[in-house]
Amino acid sequence: MPETLLSPRNLAFELYEVLDAEALTQRPRFAEHSRETFDAALATARTIAEKYFAPHNRKADENEPRYVDGRAELIPEVKPAVDAFLEAGFLNANRDFEVGGMQLPSLVSQACFAHFQAANAGTTAYPFLTMGAANLIESFGSDEQKRLFLQPMIEGRYYGTMALTEPHAGSSLADIRTRAEPAGDGSYRLKGNKIFISGGDHALSENIVHMVLAKLPDAPPGVKGISLFIVPKYLVNADASLGPRNDVVLAGLFHKMGWRGTTSTALNFGDNGQCVGYLVGQPHQGLACMFQMMNEARIGVGMGAVMLGYAGYLYSLDYARQRPQGRLPDNKDPHSPAVPIIEHSDVKRMLLAQKAYVEGAFDLGLYAARLFDDTHTATDADARRQAQELLDLLTPIVKSWPSAYCLKANELAIQILGGHGYTREYPVEQYYRDNRLNPIHEGTEGIQSLDLLGRKLAQNNGAGLKQLIRLIASTAERASHHPSLDPLRQPLEQLVNRLQGVTLALLGDLAQGKVAGALANSALYLRVFGHCVIGWRWLEQAIHAEVGLLKGSDRDFYQGKLQAARYFLTWEVPGCHNDLALLEARDDTCLAMQEGWF
Amino acid sequence: MPETLLSPRNLAFELYEVLDAEALTQRPRFAEHSRETFDAALATARTIAEKYFAPHNRKADENEPRYVDGRAELIPEVKPAVDAFLEAGFLNANRDFEVGGMQLPSLVSQACFAHFQAANAGTTAYPFLTMGAANLIESFGSDEQKRLFLQPMIEGRYYGTMALTEPHAGSSLADIRTRAEPAGDGSYRLKGNKIFISGGDHALSENIVHMVLAKLPDAPPGVKGISLFIVPKYLVNADASLGPRNDVVLAGLFHKMGWRGTTSTALNFGDNGQCVGYLVGQPHQGLACMFQMMNEARIGVGMGAVMLGYAGYLYSLDYARQRPQGRLPDNKDPHSPAVPIIEHSDVKRMLLAQKAYVEGAFDLGLYAARLFDDTHTATDADARRQAQELLDLLTPIVKSWPSAYCLKANELAIQILGGHGYTREYPVEQYYRDNRLNPIHEGTEGIQSLDLLGRKLAQNNGAGLKQLIRLIASTAERASHHPSLDPLRQPLEQLVNRLQGVTLALLGDLAQGKVAGALANSALYLRVFGHCVIGWRWLEQAIHAEVGLLKGSDRDFYQGKLQAARYFLTWEVPGCHNDLALLEARDDTCLAMQEGWF
């Protein structure tokens, strides 16, 4: 039976050959774990994803949440699925054993989660949003807030959301208008409207805990005046029992192109002046707090994009193996039987491109999870700090690259299925529609490009960047011991060298205040930087494939890795040089364009 | 009010500045026409498109055709729209005055049709399919067939389809299994199943004339054994009155991701052994006949892709002008008002890319229509032949390039609208879904790439190719008189020179029988060739923009043209060099990939 979610062989390659998950069990926090416990968790994730999540993926798409009597109504299959997720402990996969968690490394929990993301993006969002909100309260909430809100979230009784976007402001959080007035009793009364709130209403849980950005009366203008609040759907009494409905009204649902299983809501806070909220962390520090959640969410979005791409890749691969059609171009005999379309070079191209995008991005996502583990559990403080610096730098890539290229993978999957791929009788068109959200939510591509070029590069005096360049050089050095990898290594080295020069020049411009010009082509920079990072990860994979080949087993698997690495490093990476030339020249084609000229 | 279908100013630029539509009125066939009659036809098209086609575009998407009692049921708005199209005479826009036609040049009729394609791709397909089928009978049918089937099509009483694809064969027409047995009375009895037949059933017309590919009992194998048949839904009596239902059964409807207004059907021919068909043209010559229709259809598909891109571009342009959000990066004052997003450089980039794709492809589509006119009405036989040779060469580009890049334009339109663009409350997501069909139907991208590289290049000893290269050189020569265009001209010349070398080398390989290697990377070749052609068209537009600027009026319009030309020629065209390097090296990354390695 073909794999439908991800390739277990590739997952094992990532975990145990490339990213050395077993080394994590040397660390005190993960000492009770072993490859066996990791694999058991992964097997459970796969079983639940296949049994409870995948089967209603299409149904949820065809029956999007409905607005009924002020509530969002989901199809009945969602609750058993998230319940199974909860019962298996995945909601607390990373929490301590002592609070009932699985105390798994993030590397392994992300790999578990990947199965759900591939099986059903829509349903998976509900527990994911809850995890993010819970982590936020855990990091910044008071003990009382933890008792009243975090604990029931950990128990799976309350779900969470993040409520940032407002109708007039979109990505510009500086301009949010939701206000929070002190009520005199330590709580606040909120008033404002939020849109695109995923999971903003449903009956999956006893309560919903909205993490809301709002401004206090004395807030300074801009992003330095944003505070973070807990706003529950139902108020919670001091004894932790449920109180009456809070003044949070479901104003409506958005009807999306895809990802329909996750209800996207418009919420009105305080239409009746009675919306109770609780300040989380310090006043005016809300955006910094929220960024923790957003950074986790961005990695989650990136992995979600990967897994939609992965599911489409595997489906189109199986289709291409099964579907006979046409003959090879050097066969002119019309009596000869049709060949499976996987034998056509252009179909191989479309499969190989998908493989390169999907497995490259999958590796990066897991690498980021591994870094996340290092930020918490690396043995010395320097290593923890370095991991954080690198993760901060890579986050815009982890989020945006898969959103762009695994969407492209889905486009190719449709193309392989041809007319069938365009029909809703096959799953690939849904993956494509679902995946189109990922370049938009949790910070658009444009936002990510400004985050990378305008913020992350220079952070900590460029420590993250320097580290990345060292790591790429180290990979290239190890690759140089395999002469067969020369044609793969060289294009990466050329790109990295040139990118370094461009980076220094752009940072210089920024330091001199030439901000508009330096940031004008941030989209090009994001693309090239992303290709560098993915190219690096493919060279890493190629080295491990060479090592694997030497062992003599699984030759086909390792040959496939080398061919995908070759595709990415020789077809895609050198294609970035014109982008670099434009960046070098500070090309102003876009910046100079005038509104009246369109 | 913003334009929603296309820019009238740009259309006038194309018709009267770039493509010199008025010169056509010097030709006897169009002597009774003038710019005034052309503009009147265009105004009528616009009015009907806006009044009857655009308003139900979303409704048709939300209410796709339903299978009811063996029939396909459409929403009621479709019939008044197509009726208005018929009553205005567009179905016979190119036919002689004496048969009630408008005797318009194809250049002008395509420009008229563009309005309908932008307004509502789904509804527009019904008359378009009818035009294609009617032209086929006009070219190859007998007098009797013309009397019984063509005449009622011209009158808009019968509609048409093209029925090629079969479930097991897809693009591989050589393998179709539908059989046609002589019935002894000059007619045939067909038996077989066809899928993806657009417009295969509806109640818009009295009858539907299916143009069906099938094989005679003595057919040689492969594409040389395919014959073309008229198979009406209702039989037609000798006195041209309607007879009983033919044995054509609507087996089911396909449920598509987009383009839902056009019903896509599975048709069973001859389930009861009683499916009557009539041979069109000579036995076994069906594919050659059908190619006339397919070539017209391919240009139609290309223009359809352009117009979906165009509609999305205009919508996102208006949105970007209206939507205030954020501040420019060198403005740190949070008190300052938000700017319209069109002022952000990255939004300009996304608009400029759309403009470059859409207006570049629009120009090419109209240029192809102008060539089509030349094939019929150029004053000497040489010019007619040359036009045909060039049109044949360009057809795969006219079809495939807009299908790829105007889809990309739609992706950018969504991105500009952000979260809103992803919802069905805005039109851009539908354009994107609708447009995703275009790289698939009427010959996939892969089929187009093989048609170009394996067939069209070498046709007539490369006459079309030589002509194209001469034309590009002539454009470059004229551009060289405008020093300001040097940075736009040079990248094109570099690309064309290198592409010429690659082309000769690949044709050499093909001539030597190295077929598999030469065709292995046909997708790259198609892309580079397409970028050369569009780059050439943009340089042409840039020359006319320079001329326009000298006249002193409409400066903004011409500046916009120059900026879009600059975008395409300096951002996109030089990005093709790695593709050329791979083609030069006969890179075998894809060809060498093995099925077992995936």
Residues of B whose CB is below 8 A from A591 = 345, 348
* Contact call for residues A404 and A396 (beta carbons, < 8 A): no
Sign of CA dihedral A57, A59, A61, A67: negative
Q: Which of B329, B520, B596 sits opposite A454 (nearest CB)?
A: B329
With CB atoms and an 8 Å threshold, state whether A335 touches B445: no
Residues of B whose CB is below 8 A from A519 = 329, 345
Pairing assessment for the beta strands A158-163 and A207-214 based on DSSP bridges: parallel
Please determine, for residue A272, whether its predicted confidence score (pLDDT) is greater than 80.
yes
Residues of A whose CB is below 8 A from B168 = 324
* Average pLDDT rounded to a whole number, residues B227-255: 98
With CB atoms and an 8 Å threshold, state whether A325 touches B221: no
Please determine, for residue B432, whether its predicted confidence score (pLDDT) is greater than 80.
yes
Q: B307-329, pLDDT tens digit by residue?
A: 999 999 999 999 999 999 999 99
Closest residue by Cα to residue B463 from B403, B410, B527, B392? B392
Residues of B whose CB is below 8 A from A444 = 415, 418
Residues of B whose CB is below 8 A from A596 = 556
Question: What is the reported pLDDT for B245?
Answer: 98
Q: A581-592, pLDDT tens digit by residue?
A: 999 999 999 999
Question: What is the reported pLDDT for B60?
Answer: 98
* Average pLDDT rounded to a whole number, residues A554-570: 98
Which residue in the block uniquely carries the two structure tokens 């079983």?
A: A47
* Contact call for residues B534 and B361 (beta carbons, < 8 A): yes
Question: Where does residue A17 rank: exposed (0-12), middle (13-18), buried (19+ CB within 10 A)?
Answer: middle
Q: Which of A415, A446, A523 sits opposite B439 (nearest CB)?
A: A415
Which residue in the block uniquely carries the two structure tokens 């009267």?
A: B16
Question: How remote is the C-alpha of B281 from its chain's centroid?
Answer: 26
Q: Which of B196, B323, B450 sits opposite A419 (nearest CB)?
A: B196
* Average pLDDT rounded to a whole number, residues A460-471: 97
Question: What is the reported pLDDT for A332?
Answer: 81
Q: Which of A170, A329, A418 sits opposite B519 (nearest CB)?
A: A329
A92: left (phi over 0), alpha (psi -120 to 50) or beta: alpha
For the CA atoms of A205, A207, A211, A217, the dihedral, rounded to the nearest 10 degrees, stands at 160
**Alpha-carbon gap: A384 to the closest alpha carbon of chain B (Å):** 32
Question: What is the reported pLDDT for B334?
Answer: 84
**Alpha-carbon gap: A445 to the closest alpha carbon of chain B (Å):** 9
CA distances from B309 to A477, B6, B198, B414 (A): 46, 10, 22, 11
* Contact call for residues B484 and B431 (beta carbons, < 8 A): no
**Alpha-carbon gap: A495 to the closest alpha carbon of chain B (Å):** 13
Please determine, for residue B1, whether its predicted confidence score (pLDDT) is greater than 80.
no
With CB atoms and an 8 Å threshold, state whether A578 touches B571: yes
What's the rounded Cα separation, in Å, for the pair B512 and A537? 40
Please determine, for residue A1, whether its predicted confidence score (pLDDT) is greater than 80.
no
Q: A497-511, pLDDT tens digit by residue?
A: 999 999 999 999 999
What's the rounded Cα separation, in Å, for the pair B351 and B345? 10
Averaged pLDDT score across all residues of chain B: 96
Residue in B with minimal Cα distance to A560: B597
Question: What is the reported pLDDT for B2?
Answer: 85
Residues of B whose CB is below 8 A from A582 = 570-571
Task: Tell me which of A83 and B552 has the higher pLDDT.
Answer: A83
Please determine, for residue A334, whether its predicted confidence score (pLDDT) is greater than 90.
no
Amino acid letter for position A220: P
Each residue of B133-160: b (16+ CB within 10 Å) or e?
bbbbbeebbeeebeebbbbbbbebebbb
Question: What is the reported pLDDT for B211?
Answer: 97
Q: How many CB atoms lie within 10 A of CB A568?
A: 30
Model confidence band, residue A169 (pLDDT cutoffs 50, 70, 90): confident
Model confidence band, residue B46 (pLDDT cutoffs 50, 70, 90): very high
* Average pLDDT rounded to a whole number, residues A278-284: 97
CB pairs under 8 A between A and B: 266
Both tokens assigned to B18: 């770039």
Please determine, for residue B227, whether its predicted confidence score (pLDDT) is greater than 80.
yes
Please determine, for residue B591, whether its predicted confidence score (pLDDT) is greater than 90.
yes
Question: What is the reported pLDDT for B298?
Answer: 87
Structure letter (DSSP) for residue A246: P
| Disruptive mutation site among A346, A434, A452, A498 for chain B (greatest number of B CBs within 10 Å) | A346
Pairing assessment for the beta strands B242-245 and B234-236 based on DSSP bridges: antiparallel
Question: What is the reported pLDDT for A172?
Answer: 87
Q: Which residues are within 8 A (CB) of B358 and not within 5 positions of it... i.e. 6 or more apart?
A: B306, B309, B310, B313, B406, B409
Model confidence band, residue B509 (pLDDT cutoffs 50, 70, 90): very high
Q: What angle do CA B343, B345, B346 make, to 5 degrees?
A: 115
**Alpha-carbon gap: B384 to the closest alpha carbon of chain A (Å):** 32
Helical segments of B21-77, H only: 21-24, 35-48, 57-62
Q: A57-91, pLDDT tens digit by residue?
A: 999 999 999 999 999 999 999 999 999 999 999 99
Question: What is the reported pLDDT for A511?
Answer: 96
Question: What is the reported pLDDT for A296?
Answer: 83
* Average pLDDT rounded to a whole number, residues B529-540: 98
With CB atoms and an 8 Å threshold, state whether B328 touches A578: no
Q: Which residues are within 8 A (CB) of A62 and not within 5 positions of it... i.e. 6 or more apart?
A: A424
Averaged pLDDT score across all residues of chain A: 96
Please determine, for residue B15, whether its predicted confidence score (pLDDT) is greater than 80.
yes
Q: Which of A329, A334, A348 sits opposite B454 (nearest CB)?
A: A329
Q: What is the pTM of this model?
A: 0.98
Model confidence band, residue B297 (pLDDT cutoffs 50, 70, 90): confident
Both tokens assigned to A33: 């774990």
Closest residue by Cα to residue A34 from A19, A44, A24, A49? A24
* Contact call for residues A280 and A136 (beta carbons, < 8 A): yes
Name the phi and psi angles at B33, rounded to 5: -95, 165
Closest residue by Cα to residue B447 from B400, B379, B508? B400
Q: B243-252, pLDDT tens digit by residue?
A: 999 999 999 9
What's the rounded Cα separation, in Å, for the pair A267 and A193? 6
Amino acid letter for position A438: N
CA distances from A257 to A440, B415, B582 (A): 13, 13, 37
Catalytic position from the list B296, B389, B429, B442: B442
What's the rounded Cα separation, in Å, for the pair A527 and A592? 21
* Average pLDDT rounded to a whole number, residues A286-295: 86
Question: What is the reported pLDDT for A83?
Answer: 98
With CB atoms and an 8 Å threshold, state whether A593 touches B515: no
Both tokens assigned to B45: 């098209």
As a residue count, chain A comes to 598
